């Protein structure tokens, strides 16, 4: 084949067959809506939102093949044929021996943590994820962050900010002994660091170390195909390998995985636990009956498993991933051109605006990211979310954590919005930026005890 030399954009490898109409609102309507919602975008009605960037979880658009798959649902209680399709897809694309479906990612985390973790165990991981860490702790374990230091700095341009600091792991093994570490939890990509990838080289070094000590590696494979894209783009020796081949290589360096299929796998609900060890599989198939459902449906309808099996195949396509991350990078580059301060390098599933640099006249106690998220909504109906002092919550003594990063997250659902939507987002944020000096801080008027960012309410000062 003749080599392509001309520049080609990332345009979508699909066309649109059905559309969902959106309600257009006025500034006055949005001001009322956000005031009623206590300046918290989580409390807005989705009906009042124009472009919804709250999360990429369960919000992707399914293909016609996936929708057709729903009609092929075999809703038998046991042994549904859709289960076998899903099992085949997990074997074919990820290479794991055994798979148990779960209602979503945290269902798999619950079962795996209960089986592998004993009281007093240490679970190292490349930055925490909320539900993953909580299940490890509920099972009696302690999570220890072993991500490289660069991940905590929003301006550091390290190409693999999801990497694990191997020396940190060695120190943990020395300190606690390998017997206290049942597994290392490796996330691809690292959500809380802004969708940052881990390199294959790093994973190989970790494999070498853990194998020498008999420690398992469990993959949080929620966005493994997005991680594979960055390896293909940035890591020596991978430019000519397909995303599918890279995904399979990543999985081959691990012993099992938990999956939230609501992200990479392009479904609205679903997940699974995958494992190579037969004993762990047998215990998990016992336990899933208690928490999720029989091991051949795990809390899902047959049709959900069919859509997931098809979504997995679509998710590892090079064309799909080029457009998916291409769109995120398009948005990020445009924001950068407009002078908007964002976290770099641009990650796989969204853009994170640095609210401290956007609103330098506000103190962190005045909730800069919270108010910025509300102002963007008022300007254009674009819904984003706070990832700063509100999300960080309070410590055991009741004092506010003061996280280094005070961010507004713009998470991009897969295959849902167009380039024109991205342009409107940029125009809106640019407009808010030009009027930033007029933005006043907030004060909290209601604070729930747990995970306060979901339900807290605010007023302008
Ligand atoms: C979403 C997510 C989970 C949890 O999955 P759910 O399907 O929401 O239960 C675990 N890890 C990461 C990295 C995630 O993004």
256-260/271-275 β-pairing = antiparallel
Residue 2 pLDDT > 80: no
pLDDT tens-digit profile of 300-318? 999 999 999 999 999 999 9
Catalytic residue among 45, 130, 175, 446: 130
Q: Which atom of ligand 1 is nearest to the CA of 58?
A: 7
Residue 3 pLDDT > 80: no
Mean pLDDT over residues 269-276, rounded?
98
pTM: 0.94
Mean pLDDT, the chain, whole residue set: 96
Report yes or no: 259 and 265 within 8 Å, Cβ to Cβ.
yes
Closest Cα to atom 2 of ligand 1: 260
pLDDT tens-digit profile of 79-125? 999 999 999 999 999 999 999 999 999 999 999 999 999 999 999 99
Mean pLDDT over residues 332-356, rounded?
96
Ligand 1 geometric centre to CA of 212 (Å) = 30
pLDDT tens-digit profile of 380-434? 999 999 999 998 888 778 888 888 889 999 999 999 999 999 999 999 999 999 9
Residue 4 pLDDT > 80: no
Residue 184 pLDDT > 80: yes
Residue 57 pLDDT > 80: yes
183-187/216-220 β-pairing = parallel
Catalytic residue among 220, 264, 304, 354: 220
Report yes or no: 127 and 190 within 8 Å, Cβ to Cβ.
yes
Domains and CATH numbers, the chain: 27-56+318-460 (3.90.1150.10), 64-315 (3.40.640.10)
Q: Which atom of ligand 1 is nearest to the CA of 191?
A: 13
pLDDT of residue 451: 83
Annotation says 45 is catalytic: no
The neighbour count for residue 212, using CB atoms within 10 Å, is 10
Annotation says 414 is catalytic: no
Ligand 1 geometric centre to CA of 273 (Å) = 12
Q: HSE (CB half, 13 Å, CA atoms) of 417?
A: 25
pLDDT of residue 411: 98
297, burial (CB in 10 Å: exposed 0-12, middle 13-18, buried 19+): buried
Q: Pocket around ligand 1: residues whose beta carbon is below 6 Å from it?
A: 57, 104-106, 129, 131-132, 187, 191, 220, 222, 260, 262-263, 271
What percent of the chain clears pLDDT 90, i.e. is strictly above it? 90
Ligand 1 geometric centre to CA of 200 (Å) = 22
Residue 364 pLDDT > 90: yes
Ligand 1 geometric centre to CA of 221 (Å) = 9
Residue 253 pLDDT > 80: yes
pLDDT tens-digit profile of 145-181? 999 999 988 889 999 999 999 999 999 999 999 999 9
Residue 288 pLDDT > 80: yes
How is the chain split among helix, strand and coil, in percent rounded to 5? 45, 15, 40
């Amino acid at each position: 084949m003749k080599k392509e030399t001309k520049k080609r954009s990332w345009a979508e490898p699909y066309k649109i067959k059905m559309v969902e109409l959106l309600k257009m609102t006025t500034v006055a309507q949005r001001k009322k809506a956000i005031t009623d919602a206590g300046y918290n975008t989580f409390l807005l009605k989705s009906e009042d939102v124009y472009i919804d960037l709250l999360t990429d979880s369960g919000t992707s658009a399914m293909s016609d093949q996936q929708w057709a798959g729903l009609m092929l649902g075999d809703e038998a209680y046991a042994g549904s044929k859709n289960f076998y399709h899903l099992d085949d897809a997990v074997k074919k694309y990820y290479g794991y021996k055994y798979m148990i479906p779960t209602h979503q990612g945290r269902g798999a985390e619950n079962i795996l943590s209960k089986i592998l973790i004993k009281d007093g165990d240490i679970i190292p991981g490349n930055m925490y994820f909320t539900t993953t860490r909580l299940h490890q702790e509920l099972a009696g374990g302690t999570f220890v962050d072993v991500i490289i230091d660069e991940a905590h700095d929003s301006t550091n341009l390290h190409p693999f900010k999801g990497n694990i600091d191997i020396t940190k792991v060695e120190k943990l093994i020395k300190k606690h002994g390998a017997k206290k570490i049942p597994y290392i939890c490796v996330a691809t990509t690292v959500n809380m660091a802004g969708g940052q990838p881990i390199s294959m080289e790093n994973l190989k070094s970790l494999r070498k170390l853990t194998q020498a000590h008999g420690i398992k590696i469990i993959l949080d494979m929620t966005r493994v195909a997005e991680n594979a894209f960055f390896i293909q783009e940035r890591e020596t020796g991978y430019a000519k390998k397909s995303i599918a081949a890279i995904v399979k290589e990543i999985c081959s360096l691990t012993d099992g995985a938990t999956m939230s299929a609501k992200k990479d796998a392009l479904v609205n609900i679903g997940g699974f636990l995958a494992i190579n060890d037969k004993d762990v599989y047998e215990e998990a198939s016992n336990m899933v009956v208690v928490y999720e459902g029989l091991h051949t449906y795990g809390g899902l309808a047959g049709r959900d498993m069919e859509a997931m099996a098809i979504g997995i195949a679509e998710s590892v396509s090079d064309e799909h991933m080029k457009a998916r991350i291409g769109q995120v990078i398009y948005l990020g580059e445009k924001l950068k051109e407009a002078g908007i301060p964002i976290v770099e390098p641009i990650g796989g599933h969204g853009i994170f605006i640095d609210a401290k640099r956007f609103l330098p006249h506000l103190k962190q106690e005045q909730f800069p990211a919270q108010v910025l998220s509300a102002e963007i909504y008022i300007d254009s109906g674009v819904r984003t979310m706070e990832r700063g002092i509100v999300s960080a919550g309070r410590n055991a003594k009741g004092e506010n954590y003061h996280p280094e990063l005070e961010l507004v997250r713009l998470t991009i659902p897969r295959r849902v919005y167009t380039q024109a939507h991205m342009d409107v987002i940029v125009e809106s944020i640019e407009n808010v930026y030009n009027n930033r000096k007029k933005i006043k801080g907030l004060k909290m008027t209601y604070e729930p005890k747990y995970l306060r960012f979901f339900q807290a309410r605010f007023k302008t000062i």
